[in-house]
Amino acid sequence: MNLVAWLFRIVVFVIFVVFASQNSQPIMLQYTIDQSIELPLSVVLLIFFTLGALISMIFIRCQCSSSD
């Protein structure tokens, strides 16, 4: 079962990397009224995908520990 989970994770990661590499146009992120940063779309996608995965893992661990 653990091998299947890791293979699934690798496949999802490869698909995401291919998708991100096809989206390399620069975008402007404005984080305050007068502050902004220009990054490739693929970098922004990778950052938010990673943040989403981390937040999901934190909530799953909190739910598992509270049910014990």
The backbone torsions φ and ψ at residue 39, rounded to the nearest 5 degrees and listed phi first, read -135, 155
Give the separation between CA 68 and CA 53, rounded to whole angstroms: 23
In tens, the pLDDT along 3-56 reads 898 899 899 889 878 887 788 899 998 888 889 999 988 888 888 888 998 999
- What is residue 31's DSSP assignment? S
The candidate with the shortest Cα–Cα distance to 44, out of 19, 14, 10, is: 19
pTM of the model: 0.60
